[in-house]
Structure 1
Amino acid sequence: MSDGPLLSENPAPPSPRSAKRRLTFVTLAGVLAIVGTLAAAYYFAMRPVTLRIAVGPANSDDIKVVQNLTQAFNNQKGSLVRLRPVQTDGAVASANLLGEGKADLAIIRGDLDVPKNAQAVATLRKNVVVLWVPPAGKTKGKAAPAITKIGQLTGRRIGVVGRTQANVNLLRVILRQYGVDPAKVEIIQFPANEAAEAIRSQKADAYLAAGPVNSKITADAIAASARDGGTPKFLAIDSAEAIAQNHPAYEASEIPAGTFGSAPSRPEEEIKTISFSHHIVARRGVAESTIAIFTRQLFAIRQALKNEFPLAAKIETPDTDKDATIPVHPGAAAFVDGEEKTFLDRYSDYIWWALMALSAMGSAGAWFAGYLKKDERNVNNSQRDRLLDMLAAARQCDSMEELDQMQSEADAILRHTLQCFEHGAIEEGTLTAFNIAIEQFHNAVADRKALLMSMPQNLQRASAQFRAAGNA
């Protein structure tokens, strides 16, 4: 028998399918991870953000504006920001919610204490202060001297439309400016929906209302005091500039003639007054990109709503000056100044890091793929050594069966080597060396078979026995 190793003594070359499966699985997992990461990033970047907006009181114009905006935002295709109204008792309560971080947006009065974390997004509307005196003869009892200016309000009853303390504070600011001690004035408050009835009952000598120029509440209150053809006397706030200088939340303004009626004209001529604003403010922690998108949607929808809901037309851009009473939110400022960041501007850093991560993953994947092919290379090296051993054994083999068996084993080695080359486990130079070794092996087998076939059977048996005895 030949002293070369038999096929049965060496395990069959393992199939590279398991390594191929592992490589395919890892590649597929990596691709899915990358696609999933990109999809998740896009989803989180483009999904609608819901902002809580504090607004009140109930049935107010502010509530109506916010409800219309909420509906418009929800119905707008591709809207990236949506609103969730949080109803409060008024501007003070809304400001408190924002200051406590329980709201993202709020509708507040500019002349109230503004939370430290509030930043302006838009001016919802401007309000003017109206001071007027009913026509002479409308008061009960002994007639009092006619009131023609604010300085004559000492000792009088002043009715304030609305239950908010902010309007009372506003009246006190005006009185002090004209040297009237608020303690010497009787202030009577009544709800806005009871203003007309209270005025008809002549419960006060003068009245104050604060609201938009076209406020129906103010117009109805003035109309209620103009009975029997009398015309109310409007009190001009001539010191509006001084008040605005001492109280930055207020501005000097005018009420045009005929604002509250034209037959007769109310007022008969333009009168000076002060104004203040209701603001949409955002919590400082809300992302700049979110507020920029909200501001863009707000002013786009305002144009669509102003025909159906005129109050929406009052919305204006915020004051972006550095010395503004309420500092502007960076996102709103970016929209107003035309510097709103695009998608690439906002996420360029993330995209760059993602590309770096993909590059690192690619390098890691290449290393891991090479690591998975390490076993194939090791098996291939052992098969190369086996092939060289069979080459030496074939030149001395005296059995045709052994030669056929070794040839079959060489074919299996060649098949495995070609698969390794296809998988990238071995390089072209290694494959070339294998081809040379296989060719030499087949030549050696062919030469040995030719020699054995030319020898008589008795010589073949004698040679086999001689070699067996030598090996023993």
Structure 2
Amino acid sequence: MFVTVAGLLAVVAALAAGYYFAMRPETLRIAVGPANSDDIKVVQALTQAFTQTRGHIRLRPMQTDGAAASAQALADGKVDLAIIRGDLDVPKNAQAVATLRKNVAVLWVPPATKGKGRKAGPKITKIPQLAGRRIGVVGRTQANVNLLKIILRQYGVDPDKVEIVQFPAAEAVDAIRNQKADAYLAAGPVNSKITADAITASTHDGGTPTFLAIDSAEAIAQNHPMYEASEIPAGAFGGSPDKPDDEVKTISFSHHIVARKDLSESTVAAFTRQLFASRQALLAEFPLAAKIETPDTDKDAVIPVHPGAAAFVDGEEKSFFDRYSDFIWWGLMALSAMGSAGAWFAGYLKKDERSNNSTLRERLLDMIVAARCSDSAEELDRMQTEADTILRDTLRCFEHGAIEEGALTAFNIALGQFHNAVADRRAMLSSAPQNPQRAGAQLRATGTL
């Protein structure tokens, strides 16, 4: 019984421990950067939301220098999640969880400057006219420079024949006002404040910037699957008149939330569920959360979707019992096996006790025969004392479970026969003559012996 109870408690404790470890909050490290970027703000808001809702998943932001550094941190296994650009090299161990936002490439030319004492060049209205010009790129990331080169090559412009200069986002407005370049490129969400401020800085002397349409956007998307053909809506950057005053064709790319390929399906599914649940709560105070979308679950997606995220999107997320039913079943089987093993072991431990009780029962049967042949009351008293001892040992064995109720019933019958034999023999001895030889003869004559 002790072994069985101990085994039961061990299995129950194991199941309880498994449930505790399965349901306790799990903290995921997420790489995001650069500092003061919109991505950092989104992740910080999500971190607070996850903590306030006491969800299963918690986030720990790990700040990096940018999307490329975040991707490298994921590739090195230093983080569980990362915010990366879709047009950069995606780590082999990365799988998509969500699309954080879509970015568009904005290429524009500021209006001609008056009264500056320098001769203005031909007006730029098309991308091929950028050859030999100086182009400013907003942002420090090399990815924006690579994006510009892809656009230029599509239109037959050799990037080596163009002077490219980068301006950090914080310095872009001043650089544009000081006319540091002939044209500018910015990449970000349509409602990006950085892009809007840069375009506003290009408006001077009553003129408005000229937006260069990327008419070959579909061709670029065919050659570079990480890009998509897109449009910048009229008036996307505000102002009076609207900037732009009409839709402008361009290319777009996405920022993705990716997870390590070896991160468990249940963990990623829980994170995805909390992500989209928190998105709704953040819309009022953080509009950028509205840009979060479900990942592309097609098999030919540029970044393959993580099975956990796909399960959430397709409505096939597994419940706790779905995930751990096999463990529960095997636990019950183990409990049953341990119970059987405990019963066998307990029986094995009581083997000697049962054998000893069987010997005592045989002794009691022999004492019945001896009592009928006894010639003295002293001998009967001794056998009675021995029978009491046997009774005590038998009851102890029954309490320990060494013998069953059927064996106790058989012993009770034998004990009753012994008491009857002793009583009959005492009556015979008390009524017999004092001469033992004569008494023995009388007993033999009556057939008692």
Say yes or no: TM over 0.5.
yes
Q: Report the Cα distance in structure 1 between the residues aligned to 2:328 and 2:287, rounded to whole angstroms.
A: 43
Q: Report the Cα distance in structure 2 between the residues aligned to 1:394 and 1:212, rounded to whole angstroms.
A: 109
Corresponding residue for residue 62 of structure 2: 86
Cα distance, 1:404 vs structure 2: 2.9
Cα distance, 1:342 vs structure 2: 1.7
TM-score (norm 1): 0.89
Match for 1:390 among 357, 361, 367? 367
Match for 1:219 among 189, 196, 206? 196
Cα distance, 1:140 vs structure 2: 6.5
Corresponding residue for residue 81 of structure 2: 105
Match for 1:250 among 227, 239, 248? 227
Q: Report the Cα distance in structure 2 between the residues aligned to 1:45 and 1:459, rounded to whole angstroms.
A: 90
Corresponding residue for residue 272 of structure 1: 249
Corresponding residue for residue 446 of structure 2: none
Q: How many residues align?
A: 439
Match for 1:194 among 164, 171, 175? 171
1:178 equivalenced with 2:127 (yes/no): no
Letter in 2 for 1:81: I
Cα distance, 1:295 vs structure 2: 0.7
Q: Report the Cα distance in structure 2 between the residues aligned to 1:178 and 1:433, rounded to whole angstroms.
A: 107
Q: Is the 8 A contact 2:98 2:294 kept in 1?
A: yes
Cα distance, 1:460 vs structure 2: 6.4
Match for 1:448 among 417, 421, 425? 425
Letter in 2 for 1:291: V
Classify the secondary structure of the residue corresponding to 1:277: strand
Corresponding residue for residue 336 of structure 1: 313
Classify the secondary structure of the residue corresponding to 1:141: coil
Letter in 2 for 1:208: L
Corresponding residue for residue 381 of structure 1: 358
Classify the secondary structure of the residue corresponding to 2:97: strand
Q: Report the Cα distance in structure 2 between the residues aligned to 1:64 and 1:285, rounded to whole angstroms.
A: 27
Q: Report the Cα distance in structure 2 between the residues aligned to 1:399 and 1:230, rounded to whole angstroms.
A: 140
Structure 1 stretches lacking a partner, 5+ long: 1-22, 465-472
Q: Is the 8 A contact 1:150 1:178 kept in 2?
A: yes
Q: Report the Cα distance in structure 1 between the residues aligned to 2:167 and 2:223, rounded to whole angstroms.
A: 28
1:95 equivalenced with 2:68 (yes/no): no
> Quick one: percent identity of the two aligned structures?
78
Structure 2 stretches lacking a partner, 5+ long: 441-449
Classify the secondary structure of the residue corresponding to 1:395: helix
Q: Report the Cα distance in structure 1 between the residues aligned to 2:406 and 2:9, rounded to whole angstroms.
A: 35
Letter in 2 for 1:36: A
Q: In structure 2, do the counterparts of structure 1 residues 174 and 444 end up closer, same or farther at CA, with 3 Å as the change threshold?
A: same
Classify the secondary structure of the residue corresponding to 1:274: strand
Corresponding residue for residue 229 of structure 1: 206
Within 5 Å, give how 1:306-317 maps onto structure 2.
306-317=283-294
Match for 2:394 among 387, 406, 417? 417
Classify the secondary structure of the residue corresponding to 2:173: helix
Q: Report the Cα distance in structure 1 between the residues aligned to 2:186 and 2:162, rounded to whole angstroms.
A: 17
Corresponding residue for residue 126 of structure 1: 102
Q: Is the 8 A contact 1:452 1:460 kept in 2?
A: no
Cα distance, 1:401 vs structure 2: 4.0
Corresponding residue for residue 304 of structure 1: 281
TM-score (norm 2): 0.93
Q: Report the Cα distance in structure 2 between the residues aligned to 1:64 and 1:199, rounded to whole angstroms.
A: 26
Match for 1:36 among 3, 8, 13? 13
Q: Is the 8 A contact 2:113 2:205 kept in 1?
A: no
Q: In structure 2, do the counterparts of structure 1 residues 441 and 179 end up closer, same or farther at CA, with 3 Å as the change threshold?
A: same
- Per-residue CA deviation, residues 409-435 of structure 1 (Å, 9 max, x unaligned), is 323322432443454432444333212
1:281 equivalenced with 2:253 (yes/no): no
Classify the secondary structure of the residue corresponding to 2:253: strand
Match for 1:238 among 212, 215, 221? 215
Q: Report the Cα distance in structure 2 between the residues aligned to 1:250 and 1:145, rounded to whole angstroms.
A: 31
Corresponding residue for residue 468 of structure 1: none
- Per-residue CA deviation, residues 343-391 of structure 1 (Å, 9 max, x unaligned), is 2221222222222222211221221121122122112111112212322
Q: Is the 8 A contact 2:230 2:252 kept in 1?
A: yes
Cα distance, 1:289 vs structure 2: 1.2
Corresponding residue for residue 447 of structure 2: none
Q: Over aligned residue pairs, what C-alpha RMSD do you find?
A: 1.9
Q: Report the Cα distance in structure 2 between the residues aligned to 1:158 and 1:461, rounded to whole angstroms.
A: 142
Q: Report the Cα distance in structure 2 between the residues aligned to 1:68 and 1:409, rounded to whole angstroms.
A: 86
Cα distance, 1:121 vs structure 2: 0.5
Corresponding residue for residue 4 of structure 1: none
Q: Report the Cα distance in structure 2 between the residues aligned to 1:118 and 1:211, rounded to whole angstroms.
A: 23
Cα distance, 1:253 vs structure 2: 0.7
Q: In structure 2, do the counterparts of structure 1 residues 462 and 70 end up closer, same or farther at CA, with 3 Å as the change threshold?
A: farther
Q: Report the Cα distance in structure 2 between the residues aligned to 1:344 and 1:433, rounded to whole angstroms.
A: 51
Q: Is the 8 A contact 1:162 1:190 kept in 2?
A: yes
Classify the secondary structure of the residue corresponding to 2:373: coil
Q: In structure 2, do the counterparts of structure 1 residues 266 and 140 end up closer, same or farther at CA, with 3 Å as the change threshold?
A: farther
Q: Is the 8 A contact 2:103 2:254 kept in 1?
A: yes
Q: Which moved more, 1:145-154 or 1:225-234?
A: 225-234
